[in-house]
Amino acid sequence: MTTDDEIDKARLAQVLAEVPKGSVVVAVTAIAIVVAIWFAFYFYAFLPRGPIG
């Protein structure tokens, strides 16, 4: 007979073993899009508008 703690640990290990690759792809893609938009504004809007100080 096993205790509840052992069952939880085993299930936790099973969940943790399956790294959700889909969510990683979604997260990386989302950040890449945001950063790309940031650089697009930087190079095509901010810099062409001239220096400021």
Partner 1 sequence: MAEISGTANLPPSGENQSETSERLWVAFVTATVALLVVVVVFTSVHWGFHPPSQVETIDSTSLHKGGEFSEANLGTVVAPDGSAVVRVVAQQYTFVPNCIVVPAGKPVTIRLASADVVHGFIVEGTNVNAMVVPGYVTTVHTTFQEPGERLMPCHEFCGVGHQAMWAHVRIVEASRFPTGADKQKAVNCAS
Binding site for partner 1 (CB under 8 A): 1-2, 6-7, 10-17, 19, 24, 27-28, 31, 35, 38, 42, 46, 49-53
37-43 own/partner pairs: CB under 8 Å, 24+ apart = none
Neighbouring C-beta atoms of residue 46, cutoff 10 Å: 13
To partner 1, the closest distance from the beta carbon of 18 in angstroms equals 8
To partner 1, the closest distance from the beta carbon of 46 in angstroms equals 7
**Would you say 42 or 44 has its CB closer to partner 1?**
42
Roughly how many angstroms between the first and final C-alpha of the chain, as a whole number? 73
